[in-house]
Structure 1
Amino acid sequence: MTTDTTVLISGAGIAGPSLAHWLRRFGFVPTVVEQAPGLRDSGGAVDFRGAQVEVLRRMDILAAVQAQQTAMGAQVVIDGDGEPLVNLPSAFFSGEVEIERGDLARILYDLTRDTTEYVFGDSITSLAETTDGVDVTFRHGAPRTFDLVVGADGMHSAVRRLAFGDESRFRQDMGYCFAGFTAPNHLGLDHSGVIYNVPGRGALVSSSRDSSRAGVGFVFAAPESPYARHDQAEQKRIVADAFAGAGWRTDALVELMHDAEDLYFDSLSQIHLDSWSRGRVVLLGDAAWCAGPGGSGTGLAMIGAYVLAGELAAAPGDHRLAFARYEERLRPGAELGQKQAKGAGPFLAPPTERKIRRRNRFYKLLSSRLLAGAFNRLTAGAANSVPVPDYPEPVALVAS
């Protein structure tokens, strides 16, 4: 089918461009607005498993993703002297295929830039629904009207705030914070990673395709979730205070953090909504169901993009029906992902020495041959909870 339905997508990360691809394939006219001045090339690695890999295949980007995969090996839990305690197989963190988020964003942008209008350096400031569409104002650009609006702009979604209400109504903090950045690979890691813990704190360091660089992650208990979202100096102070006296090489890692220009800092939180749509506005990915680490978020968002576009194509002119079917298909997987991710903080940074030892024993059991099947089922979890449906044959792509 073909249609001249216009769709504004907020967010040029992963979910937004994925949706733009499928909308264009099904004949819609997508526009992506992104508040950053260009593509965000930072962020940790994301992995794909089960049905999520099938979506990459249907998008014809599986080969491109595999060509840039991290090819990560084992992750090693170490003690304060750097001695190994547990070896975790690559599939535990890296799935069937893993890629740096920035590399995936570039692949998706290259896939869609000739058939999608991208507006960087701007953001939505108001939404007003009419009988025929949504009147949208922007921070910098002129007002425009679109048939539909999609919020694919992450946990702190501006679209969700404008259409559904303040974030505090839907965000559930899990009592932990995460900080991540890149740094010189001082540990000499080669397609491998290390995990170090003291009670309530965890340091994760890994290096894959670029052997000169390492990704560093700090996870720590923070019952009151100190946001400081727009104050990077304060974020670095919070992390430094949390890891003061933590041992191993955490002091050196904190020093590297102070020099980092790509620090990501946030609480581990989830988003819970009774409905993902309001009239002509619908949410996708973390904006709708943010789960947190271990919740299969990126892969599920890309499946969601396919399903949302497919349901709009299958119900031409009836966005309410399409939105309802999209949510019906995705919500079970989103809820399972949230359930899986609930324990991410205590798992990555157990609160006591006893729980650290218990977690390490669990790691050993999971990586044993005896429990290989259970391990595979555990890691597949939410990845296979949403079957990938078939939709009407997409139209041929024609560059705009």
Structure 2
Amino acid sequence: MTEQTVLISGAGVAGPTLAYWLARAGFRPTVVERAAGLRSSGSPVDVRGPAARVANRMGITAKLREASTSATTLKFVDDAGRRTGRVAMGGDGGIELPRTDLAAILHEAASADAEFVFHDSITELHQDDGGVDVTFERGASRRFDLVIGADGLHSGVRRVAFGPEQAFVEHMGVYIATLPLAEPPADRTSIVMYNSPGRAVAVHPSRGHGIAAFMFRGAAVPGFDHRDSALHKRMLTEAYAGAGWRVPELLERVREADDVYLDSVSRVRMDSWATGRIALAGDAASCVSLFGDGSTLAMAGAFTLAEELGRTPADPASAFQRYETAHRKLVEPKQRNVSTAAALLIPATRRGLAVRNLGTRLLPLVSAARRLVPTRAA
């Protein structure tokens, strides 16, 4: 049988993982990425559970550990910086590392057997029984046997092949912004988190420098644009007016920053992740951003998709269905828990804050704590 070609949109986490395993299943993968190179977000992400097993089979576990962060504790503080609670982290066998490093390690693993095309994106898809004709923003049109959208929460493939974003993306009442800090925190083993009702700010030591994360409750903003940095700065300034701890200093850094990443905490829900010869993976199919093990789910889902396509390469529809059935079992519990996790880390009232702080001595917040600083969509 002729080697089948697969176009994958997105070179984040799901895309390179899928390319690696598709190549080993006998396919010829091409990865197209809108950015000019690998994404630069250094926000920490987790590789744990099923993703840790995938990484081990890829032979990259040692590299992941070399790039891992040093955070072992989550500390809650008040306006004056006094500790109000503490949670120990780790112990589940997972690896936390900057998303930049994870993407680079996955790209390195896949690049020998996959074509990577940067600074381009898909604008049109036209499929028939034999394949998909793809029009690109910059490059010449090409034809592929299959197309997979692994291009994140704001997936272009999903928009072109399935419909407008608002039909599938649900705002969860929270926004998240991240800002790299030039210097490392004094304590490189602790995430420090400040709360006021409906607002949270965390400083994560990451690797080499800190990351500030702003999480706040808010209704959906009409016409919100996740690429509008000026809008993001205004939203942060308004949301954190009058906040204590280090927040005024961090807001000043926000105002001076060239680029601030801010996005809605969202949940993607779809009746089906495939249509004909086009399918979705990672956050494009089932985003559970902020507290949802996004990178872990992206790697696990990419492996399952490649495995199922390898089983029946001549019948992609059946492979897509088996992949979806299996992977939804991992995704759906995470999607159900988003609101609970938000209530723990971003209590809406002072009473809720007091109960949460007391609960840090009693409740297992570890799984939520390990995903404090979210990433750009996988």
The answer to whether TM tops 0.5 is yes
SS in 2 for 1:46: strand
Change (3 A) 1:187 1:53: closer
- For residues 253-264 of structure 1, the aligned pairs below 5 Å read 253-264=250-261
SS in 1 for 2:241: coil
Alignment partners' CA distance in 1, 2:367 and 2:290: 17
The alpha-carbon deviation at position 87 of structure 1 amounts to: 1.2
Contact 1:95 1:379 in 2 (8 A): no
Contact 1:174 1:345 in 2 (8 A): no
- For residues 34-113 of structure 1, the aligned pairs below 5 Å read 34-91=33-90, 96-113=94-111
> What is the aligned counterpart of 1:216 among 199, 212, 216?
212
Alignment partners' CA distance in 1, 2:327 and 2:258: 36
AA aligned to 1:28 is F
Contact 2:17 2:302 in 1 (8 A): yes
Instruction: Provide Cα deviations, 1:44-71, integer angstroms capped at 9, x if missing partner.
Output: 1111332321111011111110111112
Deviates more, 1:187-196 or 1:169-178: 187-196
Deviates more, 1:315-324 or 1:358-367: 358-367
The alpha-carbon deviation at position 43 of structure 1 amounts to: 3.9
What stretches of structure 1 move > 3 A for 4+ residues in a row? 375-380
Alignment partners' CA distance in 1, 2:152 and 2:231: 22
What TM-score results when the alignment is normalised by the length of structure 2?
0.93
Change (3 A) 1:260 1:286: same
Residue in 1 that maps onto 2:21: 22
Instruction: Provide Cα deviations, 1:4-46, integer angstroms capped at 9, x if missing partner.
Output: 1100000000100000000111111000001101111214111
Alignment partners' CA distance in 2, 1:144 and 1:340: 41
Contact 2:43 2:206 in 1 (8 A): no
The alpha-carbon deviation at position 122 of structure 1 amounts to: 0.5
Give RMSD over aligned pairs: 1.9
Instruction: State the identity as a percent.
Output: 44
- For residues 242-281 of structure 1, the aligned pairs below 5 Å read 242-281=239-278
Alignment partners' CA distance in 2, 1:206 and 1:379: 11
Residue in 2 that maps onto 1:200: 198
Alignment partners' CA distance in 1, 2:256 and 2:58: 38
Alignment partners' CA distance in 2, 1:222 and 1:376: 25
What TM-score results when the alignment is normalised by the length of structure 1?
0.88
The alpha-carbon deviation at position 95 of structure 1 amounts to: 6.2
1:178 aligns with 2:176: yes
Alignment partners' CA distance in 2, 1:246 and 1:236: 16
Contact 1:34 1:121 in 2 (8 A): yes
Change (3 A) 1:164 1:282: same
Alignment partners' CA distance in 1, 2:61 and 2:259: 27
List alignment gaps of at least 5 residues for structure 2.
Answer: 371-378
